[in-house]
A and B are shown apart, each in its own frame.
Chain A
């Protein structure tokens, strides 16, 4: 006999994207209401900054009326190591759990960004994961169907969903060889999270990577696959996409250079993952240059692998799209899909180099509320998509 678990749905964000956050919270409440046999108690916490709350106080009050609990991180709150950004808010939530007696083995924390909507599958997947009980941390596949418009940044986002399969495999291996983890759509037992914490010196651009490193260093390979999708939205512009990717690379560099808990072997794999990403831009340059320059016999070797890399990249777009096919309102033509994918890929290619010429900044969060210029559209799938 085990104690009935509690799942704490925790949305941690600045809180200024209030519409996105509202939809996220309501997706949780809606599906908790409509999924009667989950087998766990639940809590919903919205952990936001004061400026986020004051951007839409009525909205937050309504969500409280609906059953959420709004935690406002005090302006004067400081962690012992003076961490900043999202890690600070996450650490604050850890301390609140400790204060309320929720840092116990039968409480699980499901982490969401402000645009991480859930479905019945997400909640059922959480239930399945807890019942299985073999892992302490679980992450799953994220789709990006919300407000999908087929723009280059949105097409590029599709590849991330297919890449999540690589992420899950890597994460469940002992050494996480290709550095896979998520900052949202992951479930962790509260006592494990709170024992590790989120505090670190200064600003950690990718606090999720640091967290994964710490959990692995302390508890070993305790990661499992969380079934069920989470549903998010991609960046609305190429500029936002660039800034988001640049922040990720800042996080990788931060982990390699400043994560003292990182064993040497893990440090090398994280560094290699970053190097692979860095190599994309020179690869494109060399490819273009090869039209003029003659590389000669060396191509006898490299061409053996070129085909595999090209096919793998194209496959990520196609399979990413197929994963989303039932959820997208707007199918795009193959020509547009190809062109937008190419543009989105070029942004991803250039973004890590942007991290070398600009310092990490707390202002690198990107808007998730639909821009005013874009009329709202239902994301209900078309008949064709439903049948597909």
Chain B
């Protein structure tokens, strides 16, 4: 409990948007060890209630009218810079307020408390990560001079694109999407994590050489067996039209060889793992 109510090491308390009450971040930082010793001696209930009140105060709503619109055309033609930040803070605030209300009415259940505090911690953590990341990013919001950076020019003469002159019928006016919470996930996509992906491709990389050797070895064994059977059969030379039929088996051979080499090459030259976000 006490660990969750303290700011995490490395978190910037100022990351909570700038309209906090004066001194709030300082209060978070300046809690001395003596406070914690005192807290241990208090009754657990009083301590929990006091901490909840403190979290609620810190997270009290300060936006009079949160933006509801995510208009593509007007406000953010290239997408809102951080559309979930306020939502994260709002979730944390509402959970803290709910906790405070339950605590004051003696309806506070310990399992619910733990879950709620985890939600607060998680949402604040993400908000802090997002802010910290946005501040350290090197993107320039101004118009870049080197937009064609590392981009090769066309390698062939540009054909006149038919769209340049031809009229087109415009569609319905784009509708403004309102900001709303994404509902609970309905499929299995919540399982598609970076960790799972990384484990899968790491194993694939580790199998690359064995796969190559086993493929060659198994192919050699099968081909040798077929060759042995063919030689032992002592078949007479058939008519030419008949003899040509098995050539159809040779058609995809270059394709399969290219596929085998390509698979080995792409795994050899590209590490597919991703940094865990």
**In angstroms, how far is the closest chain A Cβ from the Cβ of B198?**
8
Closest partner residue, chain B, to A81 (CB atom): B162
Could you tell me if A307 and B226 are in contact, using CB atoms closer than 8 angstroms?
yes
- Taking CB atoms and an 8 Å cut-off, the chain B residues in 166-196 that contact chain A are 166, 168-172, 174-175, 177-183, 185-194, 196
Known: A78-B169, A169-B266. A30 touches B141 (CB 8 A): no
- Taking CB atoms and an 8 Å cut-off, the chain A residues in 262-315 that contact chain B are 272-273, 275-276, 279-280, 282-283, 286-287, 289-290, 293-300, 302-312, 315
Could you tell me if A23 and B189 are in contact, using CB atoms closer than 8 angstroms?
yes
Known: A293-B242, A303-B230. A279 touches B171 (CB 8 A): no
A358 in contact (CB, < 8 A): no
Could you tell me if A323 and B204 are in contact, using CB atoms closer than 8 angstroms?
yes
Could you tell me if B169 and A67 are in contact, using CB atoms closer than 8 angstroms?
no
Could you tell me if A197 and B161 are in contact, using CB atoms closer than 8 angstroms?
yes
User: Which of A41, A78, A218, A300 lies in contact with B231, CB distance below 8 A?
Assistant: A300
Q: Roughly how many angstroms separate A134 CA and B196 CA in the complex, as a whole number?
A: 27
A13 in contact (CB, < 8 A): no
A102 in contact (CB, < 8 A): yes
User: Which of A67, A275, A302, A312 lies in contact with B180, CB distance below 8 A?
Assistant: A67
A149 in contact (CB, < 8 A): no
Could you tell me if A37 and B187 are in contact, using CB atoms closer than 8 angstroms?
no
Known: A146-B187, A298-B243. A69 touches B80 (CB 8 A): no
Q: What residues of chain A lie closer than 8 Å to B148, measured between beta carbons?
A: 105
Known: A294-B235, A294-B238. A309 touches B252 (CB 8 A): yes
Closest partner residue, chain B, to A199 (CB atom): B162
A119 in contact (CB, < 8 A): yes
User: Which of B129, B179, B250 lies in contact with A67, CB distance below 8 A?
Assistant: B179
Q: Roughly how many angstroms separate A322 CA and B197 CA in the complex, as a whole number?
A: 12
Could you give, for residues 19-50 of chain A, a 1 whenever the CB lies within 8 Å of some chain B CB and a 0 otherwise?
A: 00011001101111111111111110000000
User: Which of A121, A134, A300, A308 lies in contact with B256, CB distance below 8 A?
Assistant: A308
Number of interface residues of A (CB under 8 A): 138
**In angstroms, how far is the closest chain B Cβ from the Cβ of A135?**
9
A166 in contact (CB, < 8 A): yes
Closest partner residue, chain A, to B248 (CB atom): A282
A122 in contact (CB, < 8 A): yes
Q: What residues of chain A lie closer than 8 Å to B197, measured between beta carbons?
A: 119-121, 228-229
Could you tell me if A165 and B266 are in contact, using CB atoms closer than 8 angstroms?
yes
Q: What residues of chain A lie closer than 8 Å to B175, measured between beta carbons?
A: 64, 69-70
A181 in contact (CB, < 8 A): no
Could you give, for residues 103-143 of chain B, a 1 whenever the CB lies within 8 Å of some chain A CB and a 0 otherwise?
A: 00000000000000000000000110110010001111111
- Taking CB atoms and an 8 Å cut-off, the chain A residues in 62-86 that contact chain B are 62, 64-74, 76-81
Q: Roughly how many angstroms separate A124 CA and B199 CA in the complex, as a whole number?
A: 15
Q: Roughly how many angstroms separate A225 CA and B275 CA in the complex, as a whole number?
A: 16
- Taking CB atoms and an 8 Å cut-off, the chain A residues in 81-102 that contact chain B are 81, 91-92, 94-96, 99-102
Could you tell me if B133 and A39 are in contact, using CB atoms closer than 8 angstroms?
yes
Q: What residues of chain B lie closer than 8 Å to A124, measured between beta carbons?
A: 194, 274-275, 277
User: Which of B133, B142, B223 lies in contact with A306, CB distance below 8 A?
Assistant: B223
Q: What residues of chain B lie closer than 8 Å to A162, measured between beta carbons?
A: 263
**In angstroms, how far is the closest chain A Cβ from the Cβ of B143?**
7
Closest partner residue, chain B, to A96 (CB atom): B171
Q: Roughly how many angstroms separate A7 CA and B98 CA in the complex, as a whole number?
A: 36
User: Which of A121, A289, A290, A327 lies in contact with B194, CB distance below 8 A?
Assistant: A121
**In angstroms, how far is the closest chain A Cβ from the Cβ of B269?**
9
Could you tell me if B223 and A379 are in contact, using CB atoms closer than 8 angstroms?
no
Q: What residues of chain B lie closer than 8 Å to A128, measured between beta carbons?
A: 274-275
Known: A199-B163, A298-B246. A4 touches B77 (CB 8 A): no
Known: A106-B147, A312-B256. A43 touches B168 (CB 8 A): no
- Taking CB atoms and an 8 Å cut-off, the chain B residues in 200-259 that contact chain A are 200, 203-204, 207, 211, 215, 218-227, 230-231, 233, 235-238, 242-259
Could you tell me if B199 and A26 are in contact, using CB atoms closer than 8 angstroms?
no
Could you tell me if B190 and A30 are in contact, using CB atoms closer than 8 angstroms?
yes
Q: What residues of chain A lie closer than 8 Å to B215, measured between beta carbons?
A: 308, 311-312, 315
Known: A276-B255, A306-B223. A77 touches B169 (CB 8 A): yes
User: Which of A74, A118, A296, A322 lies in contact with B236, CB distance below 8 A?
Assistant: A296
Q: What residues of chain A lie closer than 8 Å to B129, measured between beta carbons?
A: 36-37
Q: What residues of chain B lie closer than 8 Å to A102, measured between beta carbons?
A: 77-78
Q: Roughly how many angstroms separate A300 CA and B223 CA in the complex, as a whole number?
A: 10
A55 in contact (CB, < 8 A): no
Q: What residues of chain A lie closer than 8 Å to B182, measured between beta carbons?
A: 26, 29-30, 33, 66-67
**In angstroms, how far is the closest chain B Cβ from the Cβ of A180?**
8
Q: Roughly how many angstroms separate A276 CA and B267 CA in the complex, as a whole number?
A: 24
User: Which of B137, B192, B207 lies in contact with A119, CB distance below 8 A?
Assistant: B192
Could you tell me if A286 and B246 are in contact, using CB atoms closer than 8 angstroms?
yes
Known: A64-B175, A73-B171, A136-B151. A225 touches B277 (CB 8 A): no
Q: What residues of chain B lie closer than 8 Å to A92, measured between beta carbons?
A: 171
Q: Roughly how many angstroms separate A146 CA and B191 CA in the complex, as a whole number?
A: 11
User: Which of B187, B227, B245, B261 lies in contact with A304, CB distance below 8 A?
Assistant: B227
5 A–B contacts, CB within 8 A, in A order: A1-B139, A1-B140, A2-B138, A117-B187, A121-B197
**Which 3 A-B pairs give the minimum distances between C-beta atoms?**
A119-B192, A169-B262, A307-B222
- Extra A-B contacts (10), CB below 8 Å, given A39-B137, A105-B149: A2-B146, A26-B185, A81-B162, A133-B150, A166-B263, A222-B152, A298-B243, A305-B250, A308-B257, A310-B219
